[in-house]
Amino acid sequence: MNEFELIKKYFCDWDIGSAGGIHGDGTAASQVSLGIGDDCALLNIPEGKHLAVSTDTFSEGTHFFKGTSPEAIGYKALAVNLSDLAAMGADPLGFTLALSLPDDNPAFLAGFSQGMRSLASKWRIPLVGGDTVRGALSVTITVLGAVADSEALRRDRAETGDRIFVSGPLGGAAYGVWARYRDISETPETRALFSRLDYPCPRLDLLPLLRLLGCRSALDISDGLLGDLSHILKASRKRAVINRKSIPCPEFPKEVPPEEQLKMILAGGDDYELLFTLSPENAERYKEMKRENPALPVLYEIGSIHDCSSDFPEISFADSPDIPADIAGFTHF
């Protein structure tokens, strides 16, 4: 089939629920004036909001293993981009898809489209355009969102005294990578860890709570806790003190050596949980809210922000001074 037939069959007429994204007041918005089929999509930007834009490329052999299911590839390619919107505090407006394919394999395209559509439907974010070409398997997605300036979760807004939080366990996805490099098969006991790698959850669900708590600085953990925390510290010109034992982590299989577990937790990446800061007052406010309403999401306090006398984003551990200095996050080059 040609390019236009492929797009029409697999990527048009997705049913993603009413009209599209969810804005700050929690109501659905009709943000797409013109979608797929013209030279450009036309989107309506809510009054008083900035347009948030992020692009990620997802390549076979670098970001996912050969043999990964088409559904997982489609799902995760969108998930990691939606995670960027969550990290900026932005509500989804729409996304574009540039897809490079070695052939027009119907089984792959059906699974890929279904995986992507399932997540787009969950967050009601419409596919508004893109491109398809023949070549090595690669997926590039650009997500578009909307956020008020006062609610943008910027890396340069961490303040001295802030408490550092993460939104969930770290290291599960890194185990999935470790196991696949060693041809270790998934078992019922490790299924959740492999799922962390293949089907990460963008934490858009936390945005209403983070806004209520006055959160001002955040990012998502894609390259590992230490590497990503250093980005906030460098942008905000601060240092951090971490309590290693406070970092949430999954239960690893016994065959994973303790030193590998530590690397997975601190530097593994691919978890796509949020790393963010709250003022001391709002950190205490959250704890009180959680006591009164146990159904609130669990947020894990792992450390604090301090003044820094240099440009070097220093991270120290209050309870684990013997952590190896060579543990660092993932780098792309």
Confidence of residue 226 (pLDDT cuts 50, 70, 90): very high
CATH of the domain at 195: 3.90.650.10
Co-location of 77 and 207 in the same domain: no
The answer as to whether 68 is a domain residue is: yes
Query: Torsion over CA of 113, 119, 124 and 128, rounded to 10 degrees?
Result: -40
CATH of the domain at 98: 3.30.1330.10
Co-location of 160 and 137 in the same domain: no
Confidence at residue 255, expressed as pLDDT on a 0 to 100 scale: 92
Q: What is the pLDDT of residues 164-196, one digit of tens each?
A: 999 999 999 999 999 999 999 889 999 999 999
Tell me: pLDDT of 54 over 90.
yes
Sheet containing strand 50-59, strands side by side:
50-59, 138-147, 91-101, 127-134
Co-location of 57 and 175 in the same domain: no
* Averaged pLDDT, 106-131: 92
Q: What is the pLDDT of residues 266-277, one digit of tens each?
A: 999 899 999 999
The answer as to whether 329 is a domain residue is: no
Which of residues 149, 171, 193 is at a domain's end?
Answer: 149
* Averaged pLDDT, 239-262: 95
Co-location of 270 and 292 in the same domain: yes
Task: Residue 257: give the domain boundaries.
Answer: 153-317
The answer as to whether 325 is a domain residue is: no
Mean per-residue pLDDT of the chain: 88
The model carries a pTM of 0.88
Phi-psi region of 224 (alpha: psi -120 to 50; beta: other; left: phi over 0): left
Co-location of 165 and 308 in the same domain: yes
Confidence at residue 331, expressed as pLDDT on a 0 to 100 scale: 46
Q: Which residue has the tokens 């949980």?
A: 273
Pairing of strands 315-317, 32-34: unpaired
The answer as to whether 18 is a domain residue is: yes
Co-location of 113 and 223 in the same domain: no
Co-location of 104 and 175 in the same domain: no
For the chain, the domain total comes to 2
Centre a 10 Å sphere on the Cβ of residue 181 and count the other Cβ atoms it contains.
9
The answer as to whether 332 is a domain residue is: no
Which of residues 131, 149, 167 is at a domain's end?
Answer: 149
Co-location of 143 and 24 in the same domain: yes
Q: What is the pLDDT of residues 204-221, one digit of tens each?
A: 999 999 999 999 999 999
* Residue of 104, 178, 171, 95 whose CA lies nearest to 137: 104
How far apart are alpha carbons 249 and 226 in whole angstroms? 15
Residues paired with residue 239 on neighbouring β-strands, in sequence order: 306
Co-location of 159 and 141 in the same domain: no
The answer as to whether 331 is a domain residue is: no
Span of 44-48, 62-66, 268-272, 280-284 with lowest mean pLDDT:
62-66
Which of residues 108, 130, 149 is at a domain's end?
Answer: 149
Co-location of 132 and 28 in the same domain: yes
Co-location of 126 and 196 in the same domain: no
Co-location of 258 and 310 in the same domain: yes
* Residue of 203, 85, 75, 77 whose CA lies nearest to 144: 85
Span of 59-73, 78-92, 213-227 with lowest mean pLDDT:
59-73
Query: Torsion over CA of 64, 67, 70 and 75, rounded to 10 degrees?
Result: -30
Question: DSSP assignment of 106-160, as one string?
Answer: HHHHHHHHHHHHHHHHHHT--EEEEEEEESS-EEEEEEEEEE-GGG---GGG--T
